[in-house]
Structure 1
Amino acid sequence: MNPYPQMLSPLDLGHVVLKNRVLMGSMHTGLEETGDWDRVAEFYAARARGGVGLMVTGGMAPNREGGVFPGAAGLFSDGDIANHRRVTERVHDAGGRIAMQILHAGRYAYGPECVSASAIKSPISPFAPRELDEDGIEKQISDIVTAAVRAREAGYDGVEVMGSEGYFLNQFLVRHVNRRTDRWGGSYENRMRLPVEVVRRVREAVGRDFIVIYRISLIDLVPEGSTWDEVVQLAKAIEGAGASILNTGIGWHEARVPTIATSVPRAAFTWLTARLRPEVGIPVIASNRINTPELAETILAGGQADMVSMARPFLADADFVAKAEAGRADEIAPCIACNQACLDHTFAGKISSCLVNPRAGHETELVVAPAANPKAIAVVGAGPAGLAAAITAAGRGHRVTLFERSAEIGGQLTLAREVPGKEEFRGLVRWFATMIERSGVELRLGQEAAPDALAEYDEVILATGVNARDPGIATDPGAKVLGYAEVLRGAPVGSRVAIVGAGGIGFDVAEYLTQAGESATLNPAEWMREWGVGDPAASPGGLSEPAPAAPARAVTLLQRKAEKLGRKLGKTTGWIHRAQLAARGVKMLGGVNYERIAPEGLHISFGVAREKPTLIEADTVVLCAGQTSNRTLAEALTAKGRSYHIIGGADVAGELDAKRAIDQGTRLALGL
């Protein structure tokens, strides 16, 4: 029986039939820029073997000025074609299909040669673009068409023309950027001339038997963005110009509304795809925060789209579709939309990977092979590091026993899943439990691993985690002080709270304590109200006035460092947390000294001179002052002369750093 009849049904595009309705959406991984084309080929081939119907590459620049950064990959020469052909041949040998995304960054290009409709600098780049003249526009069209022709020569099954997320073509569409008065500006017919002409000429150049996807922005989420009538008008014109499929994009990169972070509700924008679908006669793809086969099936069965795009879920699990088809959906490693190893890496100039699956982007380096000499391995601690090590080692044929002193697995993940907006961590813990069971690991819950009990094992892996750090603040009798773990496990907290420490945990606790009622992540309508997401049929760009719910408590967040609070939060998500706490009225103070905790609250001063003594009135003070590594067992084993491996928080205490922990556990297990 087919468990997902809509998702796994074929999609006939006329000249070609896709085997299912799952698209692996475009992601910039940084792999092409390494020049290691075997590595690039294996990344895509692994996903082809995993059964996805069609893949789209990361954005390939049509010319130097259009690259997202200097040196960005593209198809600029015959040598580039040969390199890309290695990718397409490997994908086709694996039974897959792949399209190349042509991405012209316009004013988002991080370089002085950037160009756009008008010379208006974007807020996410330090470079003001050069306004293109008539000849300059013709050059951009010609270069995009040439890139499409080269893609066909390289063996791609199609191209995706990137027209959303605020990139070059999107910039011509809206008055927010396009201030021209010639035939490329002014009326909407003029402003949409460029994307329509690009698609028309691409189709003319590549022929009818080639997939041409156009990525269309359904809701810009910026001032002076497109109206819904304009979106529909463009969609129909793009269809008339020869596009095979419309893939949907949501929001510009400069928008102050999150669109793909974990706090965004699942499938939050498919209502727009559903509205567009009846307006055109070609397939329409839904995108953004779709991460399970059940959700994909619901979207397709409900007529909201003809196909679903899932990008990061294929970082988390290359075999997503194959597992779904085999009735093993509970074994699909879940994308938790954390951005930590994918987008954060991209914007830091690193290779994109995945917190849940460190092998993503490293398939040729981190190879899972049967152990030549299977061993008896003890893993102590069932947090993310220990779980990753145990599952990976067992998958290679080792005999693994996993000790966990508490009554459940997950470690610090069990705290993270309680934070509003981090509900996806619940699925991650469930997946770990499933994989521990399926991999044959012997799990011993509620059991402290004594040194003598570990003597029988060939290898011992210590993943004993962290202890909360005591900041050593003088505390008067009667003051109510709680640790962050106590709070996240449900300890009673007063109506006025002071939080000591403004790292990731401090921000999480502040969100937890200010949340009133159900998390907005689980209530799309409430989430849209909080962030000011409106209807593009009512307001250009789909913006409305944000209306956040009243906070449950009055919270003050403090730190010793005299710097912006939250500065070290995730590169692509930190602004979301800061904005959310600001909307909830959380007071943020830096450069403080913690003088004393008293029943009336927290006494502080400022600066080296300990000036301006101040009382932060609070019923409860919550300590989020960092962690120290739990090495008690390591010290006992060392005293006995026993060797061991140490990973995760036990190795380096950090801000609930599951990314490093899982990566470390995986790499260690692959080397045993």
Structure 2
Amino acid sequence: MTRETPRELTIEEVEQVIEAFAQAALRAQKAGFEAVEVLSGTGYLISEFLSPLTNQRKDEYGGPLENRMRFGLKIMRAVRRMVGENLPLIVRMNGNDFMPGGQGRGELQEYAKALVQNGVDALCINVGWHEAKVPQIVSFVPRAVFAYLARGIKELVDVPVIASHRINDPTVARQLISDGMCDMVAMGRSLIADPYLPEKTRNGKEDEIVHCVACAQGCFDHLFELKSIECLCNPKAGHEGELRIERAKKPKKVMVVGGGPAGMSAALAANERGHSVTLYERSDRLGGQLFLAAAPPGRQEFLELAKDLRKQVALKGIRVVLNQDVDAELLERESPDAVILATGAVPLTFPIPGADGPNVVQAWDVLEDKVVTGRRVVIIGGGAVGVETALFLAEKGTLSGDELKFLLVNKAEDPDTLYQLATRGTKKIVLIEMINKIGKDIGRSTRWGMLQDMTRFGVKADVETRAVEITENGVKVEYGGAVEEIPADTVVTAGGAESFNPLQKLLEEKGIPFRVAGDAGRVATAFDAVHGGFAAGREI
């Protein structure tokens, strides 16, 4: 990110850094904080001293574990001297750094014991370095999957141990504590998604929580771009001071058309302004393309967002009309003062010969399990929809988590065989993309893991490859000036989407004020839909 080249600190600089940590803790104490936490993991400075991967020093700070721990332990003793015995000192440390040549559970458990011996009051266990190839923060990481690392340390020390990573719900937290996995849990992004999560939990309103879905679109993706933190689930996050919604002096009758994430977000914002809002949805459920987003493996958290937004709409008493198309007659009858168009998008169709053949299906229909695909599948389009469809199909015929655990525990097969059965399904999948990059429109935090899974599950990706014709036997493609045919039983078109906005012209003719939100205006991400809907509702 910063393109800086690291260098070895001098002994004098090491001592200065140790003192700087102590001074920082003192400033926190003087500011009124009731505890301090020192970050000693994730690939930052203290863990760089700890790890044999990055610590190549030849002095008393390098070599054996005892020396590599010295820097971190000196910092903790310096902090303790500076703040006294009464301020709790917490250390956030890795349970495993997941780095080849780095530190596994064994060395880090020894470090945990040494920290406690040097005056640390509690340990918060995180996982992995940012450079690690084990996904840690995104939606396909199971909730609380890394709590086993906290348990391993809890069994060795006599201070409170805190579990963290992908804990976004109080029910999960209580289960971890009651099962003896940890003494407390830490939540970070969950409180960006819903700052009132602790208060809702305390007051028995857990069903009102807006959960972090671990999309990383507004938090980590923005960090990697050196932007400020935002949140898909909470459009106010990062803008609390500037996005205060004031009540309208003259409340209006507002019609929101479309019950996807943009429409629900718009309805909530307009309601907060004091308007009388009715939300119209042509299908039998609210959620829109969030259901598609939740279809690929490990993306089920998007169903949680659909549920949470529906709950917020219900809590605000917003009138919802399902199975209802909005047309000229309804507009005449309801006579709204303003309309928000959040009618979403429809799949793009490819203008190539054979695209209407019986062996051709749309990616959206595949993700919704509306169609059956053959063993050999060619997917045309290597953007987000194509990648998600490829992973969805690649899972077909693989072992589920429960099946894998049963076979492993009962030693029915050796681990290598089980790995193959968990990552090799029944379909042969080829993904073709015209440009030279797969998943160009996928966020940086998520993309690398999805591409890694494509390789792991045997999905073949052909870039700079253009589909020129779909035949009854497969797809003719052009690559490097030559044309060849890729055999396929089923061809999936995954060319993305185009805006669906049939009402704008009618509203213009009738002179009804309107705003366009989400994909109805410009096809983008779920993040853009929620934020665009919020902006549209706030502007009325």
Q: Say whether the fold is shared (TM-score over 0.5).
A: yes
**Aligned in 2, Cα 1:235/1:477: closer, same or farther, shift over 3 Å?**
closer
Aligned partner letter, 1:665: G
Listed one character per residue, the Cα deviations across residues 18-43 of structure 1 (whole Å, up to 9, x for unaligned) are: xxxxxxxxxxxxxxxxxxxxxxxxxx
Q: Against the structure 1 CA distance between its residues 383 and 564, is the aligned structure 2 distance closer, same or farther, given a 3 Å change threshold?
A: same
Which residue pairs with 1:171 in the alignment? 48
Amino acid at match of 2:208: E
Task: Measure, in 1, the Cα distance between the counterparts of 2:205 and 2:27.
Answer: 39
Q: Which residue pairs with 1:574 in the alignment?
A: 447
The separation in 2 between residues aligned to 1:330 and 1:546, in whole angstroms, is 40
Partner of 1:140: 17
Cross-structure match for 2:532: 664
Q: In the alignment, does 2:467 pair up with 1:467?
A: no
Shift of 1:367: 1.3
Determine whether 1:645 maps to 2:515.
yes
Q: 1:420·1:519 contact (CA, 8 Å) conserved in 2?
A: no
How far the C-alpha of 1:521 sits from its partner, in A, is 8.0
Matches within 5 A, 1:471-486: 471-475=350-354, 478-486=357-365
Q: 1:253 is matched with which residue: 130, 133, 139?
A: 130
Show the counterpart of 2:431. Answer: 557
- The answer to whether 1:328 aligns with 2:205 is yes
Contact 1:265–1:521 under 8 Å retained in 2 = no
On the 8 A contact 1:476/1:599 being kept in 2, the answer is no
Q: Distance in 2 between matches of 1:525 and 1:653?
A: 41
Superposition pairs of residues 509-588 of structure 1, within 5 angstroms:
509-516=389-396, 548-561=422-435, 563-588=436-461
After superposition, the C-alpha distances for 1:80-135 in whole angstroms (9 at most, x for unaligned) are xxxxxxxxxxxxxxxxxxxxxxxxxxxxxxxxxxxxxxxxxxxx764331112222
% identical aligned pairs: 36
Displacement of 1:247 after TM fit?
0.8
SS of the equivalent of 1:219 reads coil
Q: Secondary structure at the match of 1:591?
A: coil
Name the residue aligned to 1:620.
490
3-state SS of paired residue (1:335): coil
TM-score, scaled relative to structure 2? 0.93
What are the residue-to-residue correspondences of 1:263-662 with 2, within 5 Å?
A: 263-455=140-332, 456-475=335-354, 478-490=357-369, 491-516=371-396, 548-561=422-435, 563-607=436-480, 611-654=481-524, 657-662=525-530
Moved more, 406-415 or 513-522: 513-522
Cα distance per residue 1:363-394 (max 9 Å; x no partner): 11111333332221100000110011112222
C-alpha displacement of 1:525: 6.1
Cα distance in 2 between the residues matched to 1:346 and 1:546: 35
Distance 1:373 1:329 in 2: 34
1:555 maps to a residue whose letter is I
Q: CA deviation at 1:225?
A: 2.2
| One-letter amino acid of the counterpart of residue 382, structure 2 | A
* SS of the residue 1:131 aligns to: coil
How far has the Cα of 1:159 moved from its partner? 2.1
Is 1:238 aligned with 2:118? no
Contact 1:312-1:335 within 8 A present in 2 as well = yes
Determine the C-alpha separation between the residues in 1 that align with 2:469 and 2:86. 74
C-alpha contact 1:145 1:202 (8 A) present in aligned 2: yes
Would the aligned equivalents of 1:421 and 1:520 in 2 still touch at CA under 8 Å?
A: no
Q: Which amino acid aligns with 1:373?
A: K
- CA deviations over 1:585-619 (Å, ceiling 9, x no partner): 11111222221101100101125xxx111111111
Counterparts in 2 of 1:478 and 1:229: CA distance versus 1, 3 Å: closer
Do the aligned partners of residues 583 and 311 (structure 1) sit closer, same or farther apart at CA in structure 2, a change above 3 Å counting?
same
Q: What secondary structure does 2:423 align onto?
A: coil
Does the CA contact (< 8 Å) of 2:400 and 2:422 recur in 1? no
Cα offset for 1:476?
7.3
C-alpha distance after superposition, 1:210-265 (max 9, x if no partner): 22211111111012222433222211211122212111120011101101110001
Q: Which residue identity does 2:383 align to in structure 1?
A: G
User: What is the Cα deviation at residue 514 of structure 1?
Assistant: 0.6
Structure 2 unmatched runs, 5+: 410-418
Alignment deviations for residues 435-465 of structure 1 (CA, whole Å, 9 cap, x no partner): 2222111111111011232241111110011
- Shift, 1:516, TM fit: 3.0
Q: 1:298 is matched by which residue type in structure 2?
A: Q
Give runs of aligned pairs for residues 106-255 of structure 1, distance below 5 A.
Answer: 126-255=3-132
Over 3 Å counting, the alpha-carbon distance change for 1:152 and 1:477 in structure 2 is: closer
Match for 1:513: what amino acid? L
2: CA distance, partners of 1:205 / 1:605: 68
What corresponds to 1:67 in structure 2?
A: none
Q: Given residue 195 of structure 1, which amino acid in structure 2 is its aligned partner? A: G
Alpha-carbon separation, structure 1, partners of 2:189 and 2:500: 33
Task: Give TM-score, length-normalised by structure 1.
Answer: 0.75
1:281 Cα offset (Å): 1.6
Task: Give the deviation of 1:620 after TM superposition.
Answer: 0.9
Give the superposition deviation at 1:199. 0.2
Q: Is the 8 A contact 1:500 1:559 kept in 2?
A: yes
* Pair 361,389 (structure 1): closer, same or farther in 2 beyond 3 Å: same
* 1:594 counterpart letter in structure 2: A
CA contact (8 A) 2:151 2:181 kept: yes
* Equivalent pair of 2:95/2:104 in contact (CA under 8 Å): no
Structure 1, residues 505-553: CA drift from partner, whole Å, max 9, x if none?
A: 1111111111135796899969x99xxxxxxxxxxxxxxx998521331
Q: Compared with structure 1, are the counterparts of its residues 398 and 424 closer, same or farther at alpha carbon in structure 2 (3 Å cutoff)?
A: same
Kept in 2: contact 1:172–1:178 (CA 8 A): yes
1:89 equivalent in structure 2: none
Instruction: Return closer, same or farther for 1:277/1:409 CA change in 2, 3 Å cut-off.
Output: same
Task: Find the residue that maps to 1:253 and give its secondary structure.
Answer: coil
Query: What's the Cα RMSD here?
Result: 2.2
CA 1:290 to 1:182, structure 2 compared with 1: closer, same or farther past 3 Å?
same
Which sits farther off after the overlay, 135-144 or 442-451? 135-144
Aligned in 2, Cα 1:458/1:626: closer, same or farther, shift over 3 Å? Answer: same
Amino acid at match of 1:421: G
CA 1:489 to 1:247, structure 2 compared with 1: closer, same or farther past 3 Å? same
Shift of 1:172: 1.2
SS in 2 for 1:295: helix
SS in 2 for 1:497: strand
2:168–2:211: 8 Å Cα contact kept in structure 1?
yes
Deviation at 1:664, TM superposition (A): 1.1
Contact 2:516 2:536 in 1 (8 A): no
Would the alpha carbon gap of residues 546 and 621 (structure 1) be closer, same or farther in structure 2, given more than 3 Å must change? closer
Structure 2 distance, partners of 1:523, 1:159, is: 43
Measure how far apart 1:144 and its partner are.
1.6
